[in-house]
């Protein structure tokens, strides 16, 4: 049997289809191995299988092909002398390092700052008269820390929290609760630590406007704006309809 391993991946793919049509299966598998973000230990492994048996492998660390069967050994000798090994070694930079760098930049190191709300929650215990909820939405990646600060000092008593919840769209959310008895003049804040933030960010609870009243104000303002928009649209429509009409007085 003559050597038939081409050096180009497209030729390999075409050969795989032809072999499969005759009841045989050819498989090529490229692997990029690394353990650090600087990619200094990057290694490219290119494997060739025939009917689930590995025949030949390229190793970028050794910069040569290695055969594991008689046909594999013959092809390894040919590929190591005809320049194919040097061509395969170029994939270490153009394929492995290039795609790994994109992975770190666009996925692993990509961050999205959470949207945070501090609101009054229902269901305070008999021990305390107030319950607050600090919610962080739509952050990426996971790994966030919420702290409650009372007059700048971390509060641990009366604090509960949910697990980080996966939204199903790459983003996450989490909710933390604080039960306490309010005191005049104090400040209550929720502090958020996340990889998207250069430093912890605090969100202050404002008790000056009750939650129910605040919501009513927002709804009322929204209704006012919406009514104003409809009024303007109606006036413009009336003006267009009235243009060109001649009013004749009735007898």
Q: Where residue 71 sits, what CATH number does that domain have?
A: 3.10.320.10
Does residue 63 sit within a domain?
yes
Confidence of residue 228 (pLDDT cuts 50, 70, 90): low
Q: Are residues 154 and 191 in the same domain?
A: yes
Q: Are residues 169 and 186 in the same domain?
A: yes
Q: Are residues 24 and 58 in the same domain?
A: yes
* Average pLDDT for 213-232: 54
Which pLDDT score, from 0 to 100, does residue 23 have? 72
Which pLDDT score, from 0 to 100, does residue 225 have? 54
CB under 8 A, 24+ apart: contacts of 117-123: 117/203, 118/188, 118/189, 118/190, 118/203, 118/204, 118/205, 119/211, 120/210, 120/211, 121/177
Which pLDDT score, from 0 to 100, does residue 113 have? 96
CATH of the domain at 125: 2.60.40.10
Range among 125-134, 153-162, 205-214 with highest mean pLDDT value: 153-162
Does residue 41 sit within a domain?
yes
Q: Are residues 90 and 22 in the same domain?
A: yes
Contact status, residue 138 vs residue 114, Cβ threshold 8 Å: yes
Which pLDDT score, from 0 to 100, does residue 245 have? 52
Which pLDDT score, from 0 to 100, does residue 129 have? 84
Out of 108, 126, 150, a domain closes at 108
Q: Are residues 150 and 69 in the same domain?
A: no
Which pLDDT score, from 0 to 100, does residue 107 have? 80
Q: Are residues 104 and 20 in the same domain?
A: yes
Res 230 pLDDT > 70? no
Q: What is the Cα 1 distance to its own chain's centre?
A: 50
Contact status, residue 203 vs residue 190, Cβ threshold 8 Å: yes
Range among 57-61, 121-125, 216-220 with highest mean pLDDT value: 57-61
| Cα–Cα nearest to 33, from 21, 47, 22 | 47
Does residue 235 sit within a domain?
no
Containing domain of residue 86, as a range? 9-108
Res 177 pLDDT > 50? yes
Q: Are residues 24 and 84 in the same domain?
A: yes
Cis peptide before 141 (omega within 30 of 0): yes
* Alpha-carbon distances, residue 123 vs 89, 132, 149, 204, 212 (angstroms): 64, 10, 21, 21, 15
From CA 58, how far away is CA 150, in angstroms rounded? 61
Q: Are residues 25 and 62 in the same domain?
A: yes
């Amino acid at each position: 049997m003559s050597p038939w391993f081409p050096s180009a991946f497209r030729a390999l793919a075409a050969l795989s289809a032809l072999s499969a049509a005759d009841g045989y299966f050819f498989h090529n598998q490229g692997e990029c191995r690394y353990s650090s973000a600087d990619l200094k230990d990057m290694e490219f492994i290119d494997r060739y299988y025939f009917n689930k048996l590995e025949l030949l492998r390229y190793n970028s660390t050794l910069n040569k092909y290695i055969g594991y069967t008689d046909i594999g050994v013959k092809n390894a000798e040919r590929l190591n002398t005809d320049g194919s090994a040097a061509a395969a070694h170029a994939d270490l930079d153009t394929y492995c390092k290039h795609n790994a760098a994109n992975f770190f930049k666009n996925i692993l190191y990509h961050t999205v700052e959470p949207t945070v709300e501090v609101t009054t929650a229902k269901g305070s215990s008999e021990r305390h008269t107030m319950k607050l909820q600090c919610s962080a939405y739509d952050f990426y990646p996971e790994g966030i820390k919420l702290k409650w600060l009372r007059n700048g000092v971390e509060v641990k008593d009366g604090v509960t929290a949910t697990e980080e919840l996966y939204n199903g769209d790459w983003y996450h959310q989490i909710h933390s609760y604080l039960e306490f008895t309010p005191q005049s003049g104090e400040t209550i804040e929720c502090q958020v630590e996340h990889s998207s933030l250069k430093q912890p960010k605090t969100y202050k609870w404002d008790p000056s406007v009750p939650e129910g009243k605040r919501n009513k104000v927002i709804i009322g303002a929204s209704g006012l704006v919406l009514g104003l928009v409809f009024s303007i649209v109606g006036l413009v429509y009336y003006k267009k309809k009235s243009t060109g009409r001649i009013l004749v007085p009735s007898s």
